[in-house]
Each structure stands twice: as structure tokens, then as C-alpha cells.
Amino acid sequence: MTARMRLDPQAIGLGMTSQRVRDRLIERLREGAPNGGGIRDERVLNAIRTVPRHLFVDEALATRAYEDTALPIGFGQTISQPWVVAKMTEALFVDGAQPKKVLEVGTGSGYQAAILAALGLEVHTVERIGELLRTARKRFRTLGLNVRSKHDDGRIGWPENGPFDAIVVTAAAPALVDALTEQLAPGGTLVAPVGGGNAQSLLRLRKDANGVIEQTTLAPVVFVPLLSGLVD
């Protein structure tokens, strides 16, 4: 079922969060990042244009919400650069097909999950930091988004709700996590940053009907590390 966002004028924002500012961001995403191509999928661009990113950052940073840059959200975490969010989302639409059920590992601010939900996907998201998850849930409710969330170790995934047509990992591990690839349905797509420090690559994995995985490197990226355990 397609998510419907109940946005009021205050949520849409004025001034530095106006539609004109958002449209400029969309043009930058079309142009692409220095080490990656432009975003071409109009569904993704429309979701980025529609979802109010300024509601997913601290009020003091709202005027920077539509810059194409990562911003801090506390607890050593960030809201990802819009180009990265768009690139990861677009990578799920292989040959134009849209997945139905997606797992996000690392809810963070909730922005990536909101983009996926705005596209009509059935979103399941896992976050290890309790305070971040509670804040993200409030944002989902404010925007009328039906996102299923869980406070748990993201490296475990959400096996009882799998398998998933797509998995998005929003933090970097030195290698792919077997527990997550196992929860990917045949024909599914997993997008994740892999590597350490500043030597990370955004990878796309496709699992065929026989469980064989094909890997593609999309772009160099920098993400926070994928950690184990829970923080309340």
C-alpha cells in the first residue's frame, strides 16, 4: 500500500526550507557527485523533493537541510548526504522494477526510511540507539508514514519478518554481514557501504533464483561504522 504523507504548510517549510530550495537540490542530484553519476529515476527525485529533510535534523541545522551534505544528528551519527540517499534508493530499482518489502539497517534520523516509505515500499527499519529510534518514530507519525521499526542490533537484521526484496545498510562494515545477505529474497537487491575508514565503497548485491550473489561497485563513500549491541 502506498504511503500518504499528510503534510501541512508548517511541515513543508518556508524560506531556507522552501520548495525553491528543494528544487535546487534536485538539480544538483541530477548533475551527480564528483565520484558518482547523476540521479535519473524520477520516482526517487520526487521523493527527495517531497519529504521534508529539515524535519529530520536539529532545528539549528534546518537552514542547511537542503544542502547536498551529511549533517550530525547526535550520538556520533549523521543524516546521509542526499545524493547518497538517492543513489542507494535508485540502486534498488533494478531494470526499473520496484521492490515491495525492504529492510533498512540503521534508522538514524529516519530520513532514508521516510524516502523509501514515500515511494510506497513496505519499510522495516532497525536501530541500535534507542533515543534516535524514538525520535524517528515521532517523525514518521508526524508525516503519516507507516514504517515498522525495531530497537535491536542491526547486524542481526529482522529475520522473523524476512525474507526481504531489498535491504539497505546505512553504516559501513569491513565486510558484508552474512546474516543480512541470508535475509535477502531470491531476486532481491542489497545496497551497503563496505570497508573501513575513508576506504569504503558502496556495493550493490543481486541474489539470483539459485542464491548466487552478483556484486557491483557503485561509488566511493564515507559512512559511520556498523556497530553491534544496543544503546538505550
Cα–Cα distance measured from residue 189 to residue 108, given in angstroms and rounded to the nearest whole number: 21
80 is catalytic: yes
Q: What is the DSSP letter of 129?
A: B
Helix (H, G, I), strand (E, B) or coil at 37: coil
- Amino acid making up residue 205: L
Active-site position among 18, 80, 201, 228? 80
Element containing residue 164 per DSSP (H, E): strand 164-169
Grid cell of 189 as nine digits: 537487491
Spell out where 75-114 has E strands: 77-79, 101-105
Q: Which of 232, 32, 225, 4 is nearest to 114 (CA)?
A: 4
As a whole number of angstroms, the distance between CA 88 and CA 95 comes to 15
- Is there a cis peptide before residue 163, judged by omega within 30 degrees of 0? yes
For 213, residues 6+ apart whose C-beta sits below 8 A from its C-beta are 181, 205, 206, 207
| Distance between CA atoms of residues 79 and 223, nearest Å | 10
The DSSP code for 165 is E
Give the closest residue to 3 by CA, choosing from 120, 127, 168. Answer: 120
Residues designated as active site = 80
